[in-house]
Amino acid sequence: MGVGITVEGLNAFYGKTQALFDVNLRVLANHATALIGPSGCGKSTFIRCLNRMHETIPDARVEGTVRIGDLSVYNGTSATQLRRRVGMVFQKPKLNGFRKRKQLDEVVERSLHSAALWEEVKDHLHKKSGASLSGGQQQRLCIARALAVQPEVLLMDEPCSALDPISTGKIEELIFQLKEQYTIVIVTHNMQQAARVAEFTGFFLLGKMIEFDKTEKIFTKPSDKRTEDYVTGRFG
């Protein structure tokens, strides 16, 4: 089962440039939470801070508190330990090799079932590389790989931005199934997608969390004028 996420006073920096400003957020377990906002507003930086992927960029640093369940992300926890509990799916499929063949055989069928991909690829496992799959299948393969270590949280950074509507629909259907077992945070530019898959939505602007609430309220009766301007298309 998924675990909740608590973020308190999160500030993120790339060198001298501050990318996030005092972000506070509580993500409920076994729900999908969407993060929306214009390009460059800090959404992707924020979810990378949840599993310390931002540390792969030189001079990146974070201040504040992040807890995944009872695990303190920035207080003595190794990045490797953290990423076993917090899986990540990127905008474009990243198909890396996997050398531990025995371990792969033990987890591959379960993971492919979880990613709703087994029936499409089961007859081709020894014939095809991941690169021969369609874009939508590659993205579900990446989800399967993220699930292989049995995390509690699944982060998705624009997982459907390069996909056609049919493939996007399959990913969204998969999100509905997965949140029964995992806590999901999805960054998306597609506000209709946020409305379809997420129970809660946060709106970022210029590195700040402007508003966070139930998705229906964010899209129909937001509390902040800046949120209303964004979701109605006045800017962004």
pLDDT surpasses 80 at 236:
no
pLDDT given at position 50: 95
The tokens describing 223, both together, are: 């509390």
pLDDT surpasses 80 at 57:
yes
Nearest to 187 by CA among 226, 219, 162, 158: 158
pTM greater than 0.85 (yes/no): no
**Whole-number Å distance between alpha carbons of 231 and 153:** 27
Higher pLDDT, 104 or 40: 40
Label residue 143 by pLDDT band (50, 70, 90). Answer: confident
| Domains of the chain by residue range | 5-93+152-231
CB 219 within 8 A of CB 231: yes
pLDDT given at position 130: 52
Q: Per-residue pLDDT averaged across 126-140, rounded?
A: 62
CB 171 within 8 A of CB 4: no
pLDDT surpasses 90 at 170:
no
Contacts of 114 (CB under 8 A, 6+ apart): 143, 144, 147, 178
pLDDT surpasses 60 at 111:
no
pLDDT given at position 101: 47
**Whole-number Å distance between alpha carbons of 185 and 183:** 7
**Whole-number Å distance between alpha carbons of 197 and 174:** 10
The tokens describing 127, both together, are: 């014939």
CATH architecture of 5-93+152-231: 3-Layer(aba) Sandwich (3.40)
Share of the chain above pLDDT 70, in %: 81
